[in-house]
Amino acid sequence: MAFQLGKSLAAQRGMSYWGWLFVIAVFGFGLTIVSKMGPAYIDAHFVEEGLQTLSKQSAVRDMSNSEIKRELDRFFTINNVRGEPAKAVKIIRGADSTLVSINYELRQPLFHNVDVVMKFDKQLNTAKPELCCEPLVDLEQFRKRDEY
């Protein structure tokens, strides 16, 4: 009986030094990833929120391109969205709708020579405002069409 008690206590010692070191390293790596990528995803959330706010305005179709950009810039300024999302606003006018697209790519250095590339594509089509923020139109087809 005493032999079994000693054996079970030895099996319950806990983690070793290397076990704790591994746990701390994994936690530190996760924290680094969140701290580097988190702000980009927060900005993407506010970009989506800005497009949703714009979609709720009834006269978006009648607004000029500069008025649409001004409304988005105002929203981005209030929510501290800077850099690529604010520069990437593109407006395409169609016969029956207006497409507001915010398509951008961010490259964030993670450590040493490893970068994380994050792509964001948010669109508002005034013909289908209920489908706001999901990319419905491939903008490459417009770019290719405009090249010819």
Tell me the per-residue pLDDT of 114-144, one tens digit each, with 9 for 90 and over: 999 999 999 998 888 888 888 776 666 655 5
Tell me the per-residue pLDDT of 67-119, one tens digit each, with 9 for 90 and over: 999 999 999 999 999 889 888 999 988 888 888 999 999 999 998 899 999 99
pTM to 2 decimals?
A: 0.76
14/71: higher pLDDT:
71
Radius of gyration of the chain (CA): 25
Confidence of residue 47 (pLDDT cuts 50, 70, 90): very high
